[in-house]
Amino acid sequence: MIRYVLAVTLTVGLLLLSIPAIDAASERRTERQLEAATADLETAAVSLFESEEVSHAGAPPPRRTVALSLPKSSIMTAPVATLRIERVHDETSIVTYAAEGRPKRREAVAVPIVSRGSRANESAALGDASGDVTLVLRLETDADGEPIVTIERA
């Protein structure tokens, strides 16, 4: 009988000790997935901005479609706390992302990216996104006639 009590006690103790490690691993896994999604987004935006020309009036703008696989909340991954793209300069945007429980990380993208329908510096927030998300990037012009990349969910 004492063996069973000891076995159960040890099992519970080991389980309690492993929970913080599981949480930390899931947060790091989510962070890596967000980092990969940011790289995919940057690749598509830079490709669109550098290899296409703004369309003439009446013609559809050049576009790229990006499929991102964002983590869902599970025992293996933490939920996405923040995913936002903000235009900070004429030719630069910042992607801010974080897994729940982790500090925010910021990555610069050498392309002006704004939310579709906005011609100013309106940021595109995707913080509530999880699972497979499809984004459409279009090469358009801002209020000054300068090329920008607009982003929206498909």
pLDDT in tens, 96-144: 988 888 899 999 999 999 888 665 566 777 766 778 889 999 999 888 8
Q: For position 121, what pLDDT does the model report?
A: 60
pLDDT band at 66 (very low <50, low <70, confident <90, very high): very high
Long-range contacts of 88-96 (CB under 8 A, 24+ apart): 88/121, 90/146, 93/45, 95/38, 95/41, 95/42
- Domains identified in the chain, total number: 1
Query: What pTM does this model have?
Result: 0.80
Q: Which domain holds residue 117?
A: 2-153
What is the H or E stretch that residue 50 is in? helix 2-51
Distance CA 17, CA 22 (A): 10
Cα(20)–Cα(15) distance, rounded to whole angstroms? 10
Write phi, then psi, for 113 (nearest 5 degrees). Answer: -120, 130
CA distance from start to end of the chain: 61
Percent of the chain's residues with pLDDT above 90: 30
